[in-house]
Structure 1
Amino acid sequence: MTRDHQHGQHGDHEHGHQQHHHDQAFWDERYGSAESVWSGNPNPQLVAQTADLTPGRALDVGAGEGADSVWLARQGWDVVGLDISPVALGKAAAHAVIADVADRIEWRQADLLEWQPGDERFDLVTAHFMHLPADLRRQVFPRLARAVAPGGRLLVVGHHPEDHETVRRDFDEHFFYTGADLLAELDLDGWDVETDDAPTREATGPDGEPATIRDTVLRVRRPS
């Protein structure tokens, strides 16, 4: 899937741009259309939200060209970078070699609509700007929570509904979510809500104009 690093961090990246954009062919074509689709920078909310965490094993969901996975690996995390597009993962693997962290990252190709975490447990599961229709989101996001190890964190970042009127006018309203929406959809009984915020950042809008983006940021900790 994608990384949204164009409008300041990602921008036009969304995982699931519209409802029919969930298949491998779409994303392979997208990633094959340019040398770099995204900026190559890690998501700023990832940087901010992991600053106080002890590195362990991380799952980067929708790894795209690998910016977040590479950044995590450089901080000492052992990373699984998951994406539907082998084209994207090929680029990500090349970036990891350049950054000298290839030995800390395992790249996996999978369709999130079918992927199951199994018995795997991660100290951090991170998903940034993975915008799915609400019905699919309610299927996928609980699986991400199940992949979190006891004492580990789930970090979800996406466009706040306010962005529908600014940088994401091409999205239907049901692609957006707040922290409260996510908490209502996830089975997180006993989990600690460490961050439920909607910070703003300055970026470039779809027509090249200055724009203010509001990110939905939810970080929750699974009980030990």
Structure 2
Amino acid sequence: MQQTTRDFWNDRYREKTGETSGKPGLVLSQFAGPLQPGTALELGCGRGDDALWLARQGWQVTAVDVSAVALAHASERSARAGLAGSLRFEEHDLAETFPDGSHDLVVASFLQSPRDWPRARVLARAAGAVTTGGRLLITEHGKRPPGSEAAEDRVFPGAEETLASLALDPRHWRRLCVCAIARKSTRPEVQGQTAEDNVIFLQRLG
């Protein structure tokens, strides 16, 4: 029997032991940090570092992942931190179901899967969940990250290519940042090596 997407990611998260860094992603803290808190939707929340950070900044957060294992870990951490009232966790395979509602901030950080998965369609739905005046923040690998399991010759899309794949009406969106940035990897086994990420940061006009 072919392994389902849920089983694949549950197995991945079962292999992860110990605590996370507890720190938000660099792009999230840089771009969302100055924003006035409102409602936020995080797609692919994993074990919750970014979701908990958003809640600490005053956001009401809906955090979504396909892995029940990851969500259980994130939920337990939110309770320990006294943030349970600011966070709601939902399990979704975003290729099949999507959370309800519209949000002031929709975040998708490294929502890139080694499995066959309709990423452009999911990100287009993410854009559709942004309220008027709200922001969409997508962060993705711009090239093979240090220590990655990805094939050496794998080609990652550029920021403009990802944006084009969403087929958004440019009359309804303001480009705040569509660019590549370099950062130092924080993974212990490759710490200090340079990674390149793409950022797509947009504001919905109507």
Normalised-by-shorter TM-score class? 0.7 to 0.9
Letter of the 1:121 counterpart: S
Unaligned residue ranges in structure 2 (runs of 5+): none
**TM-fit CA distance, 1:167:** 4.1
**Aligned-partner residue type, residue 54 of structure 1:** Q
Q: What CA distance in whole angstroms lies between the structure 2 residues aligned with 1:168 and 1:61?
A: 21
Whether the 8 Å CA contact 2:95–2:117 is kept in 1: the answer is no
2:103 is aligned to: 122
Superposition deviation, residue 142 in structure 1: 0.5
Alignment gaps of 5+ in structure 1: 1-19
Structure 1 pair 203–21 and aligned structure 2 pair: CA distance change class (3 A):
farther
Alignment counterpart, residue 178 of structure 1, candidates 158, 172, 176 = 158
Distance 1:94 1:117, change over 3 A: closer
Report the count of equivalent residues: 201
Please give the residue correspondences for 1:25-104 in structure 2 after superposition, counting only pairs within 5 Å: 25-36=7-18, 38-104=20-86
Deviation at 1:115, TM superposition (A): 1.9
With over 3 angstroms needed to count, the CA separation of the structure-2 counterparts of 1:215 and 1:21, relative to structure 1, is: farther
Residue pair 1:84, 1:111 contacting (<8 A) in 2 also: yes
> Is 1:159 matched up with 2:141?
yes
| Cα distance change, pair 207–70 in 1 and its aligned pair in 2 (3 A) | closer
- Structure 1: which amino acid aligns with 2:64? L
Give distance in 2, aligned partners of 1:58 and 1:204: 25
Give the distance between the partners of 2:23 and 2:141, measured in 1 at CA: 18
The SS at the match of 1:173 is coil
Q: Distance in 1 between matches of 2:189 and 2:88?
A: 37
User: Could you tell me how far 1:33 is from its partner in structure 2?
Assistant: 2.3
Deviations 1:55-84 (A, max 9, x none): 100001001111111000000000000001
**Which amino acid in the other structure matches residue 153 of structure 1?**
R
Q: TM-score, normalised by structure 2?
A: 0.87
Tell me, in whole angstroms, the C-alpha distance in 1 between the residues paired with 2:16 and 2:119: 28
Deviations 1:61-109 (A, max 9, x none): 0011111110000000000000011111110011111221110000000
CA separation of 1:36/1:61 partners in 2, compared to 1, >3 Å: closer, same or farther? farther
How far off is 1:178 after superposition? Answer: 1.8
State the shift of 1:22 in Å. 6.7
Question: What's the TM-score once normalised by structure 1's chain length?
Answer: 0.81
Q: Deviations over 1:1-26 (max 9, x none)?
A: xxxxxxxxxxxxxxxxxxx9871112
Matched, 1:131 2:131: no
Give SS of 2:118's match. helix
Q: What displacement does 1:187 show? A: 2.7
Q: CA deviation at 1:215?
A: 1.1
Identity %: 35
Q: Corresponding residue for 1:8?
A: none
Q: Deviations over 1:115-159 (max 9, x none)?
A: 2355x1010000111114787222211011111111111100011
Q: Which residue of 2 aligns with 1:7?
A: none
Give 1:203 deviation, angstroms: 1.9
1:168 to 140, 144, 148: 148
